[in-house]
Amino acid sequence: MSTDDVSASGDTNQHENAKQSVVAVDGNDTELDIVNRLDAHTGDGTRHRAFTALVFDGDGHILLAQRSADKRLWDTHWDGTVASHPLQNQTQVEATEQRLEEELGIAPEQYDDLRVTDKFEYKRYYLNDGVEYEVCAVLKCTLNDTSIDPNPEEVGGVLWAPYEHLHDNPRMYRQLRLCPWFEIALRRDFE
């Protein structure tokens, strides 16, 4: 049985990630190969390119998005707005613009300062379901217009949280079960 035929529950149904690819990279984020997305997230994983985007309002609140219950990894955990993988030949900014619109209905006209602010490598296993092994870029922007239209297939819920308070008081937010890449980005942002 190939990994293309295995879902998170072990069923032999086709998993959507088996139809997608990610960019495998070295520790310096230099492209090495294009690999199957499901393969990159199973076993010991394959290091690949990823991003997380932190979206703010004008008052220092961050828009947290809860990952859909249908996500294979870190389902129902809270993320720093959106996270995903750029396609080959797609910039981190282009990929982020695409995911903001697809997941939350946030159009590029709502912000004008989307930029890469950090990059780090991490590896985390999730239960027995898979692994994230990524060189993750962090992008930020501030919305001029905070109207959103979450896609329920991608997002289980949304929450505006005071960013500095979230960092300074992590115990007050632990019931949210934050995604590991967001926790790393948050910690590094205040170092």
What is the per-residue DSSP string for 107-176? Answer: -GGG-S--EEEEEEEEEEEETTTEEEEEEEEEEEEE-SS------TTTEEEEEEEEHHHHHH-GGGGGGG
Question: Taking 70 as the threshold, does the pLDDT of residue 10 lie above it?
Answer: no
Handedness of CA 99, 102, 106, 109 (dihedral sign): positive
Please compute the mean of the pLDDT values over residues 179-183 and round it to a whole number.
95
**Length of the chain (residues):** 191
Distance CA 68, CA 157 (A): 8
pLDDT in tens, 104-128: 999 999 999 999 999 999 999 998 8
- Give 180's pLDDT tier (boundaries 50, 70, 90): very high
What does each C-alpha distance from 45 to 16, 52, 125, 147 come to in angstroms?
A: 17, 19, 9, 37
**pLDDT above 90 coverage of the chain, percent:** 85
Please compute the mean of the pLDDT values over residues 82-106 and round it to a whole number.
97
Identify the CA nearest to 160 among candidates 85, 94, 88, 80: 80
Q: Which domains does the chain have, with CATH numbers?
A: 48-189 (3.90.79.10)
Catalytic residue among 134, 153, 154, 183: 134
pLDDT in tens, 127-154: 888 999 999 999 999 999 999 999 999 9
The mean predicted confidence, pLDDT, of the chain is 90
Task: Write down the pLDDT at residue 127.
Answer: 87
Please compute the mean of the pLDDT values over residues 149-160 and round it to a whole number.
96
Please compute the mean of the pLDDT values over residues 88-102 and round it to a whole number.
97
Whether 134 is a known active-site residue: answer yes
Distance CA 82, CA 150 (A): 11
Question: Taking 70 as the threshold, does the pLDDT of residue 43 lie above it?
Answer: yes
Distance CA 94, CA 42 (A): 27
- Give 178's pLDDT tier (boundaries 50, 70, 90): very high
Question: Taking 70 as the threshold, does the pLDDT of residue 176 lie above it?
Answer: yes
Burial of 184 (0-12, 13-18, 19+ CB in 10 A): buried
- Give 15's pLDDT tier (boundaries 50, 70, 90): low
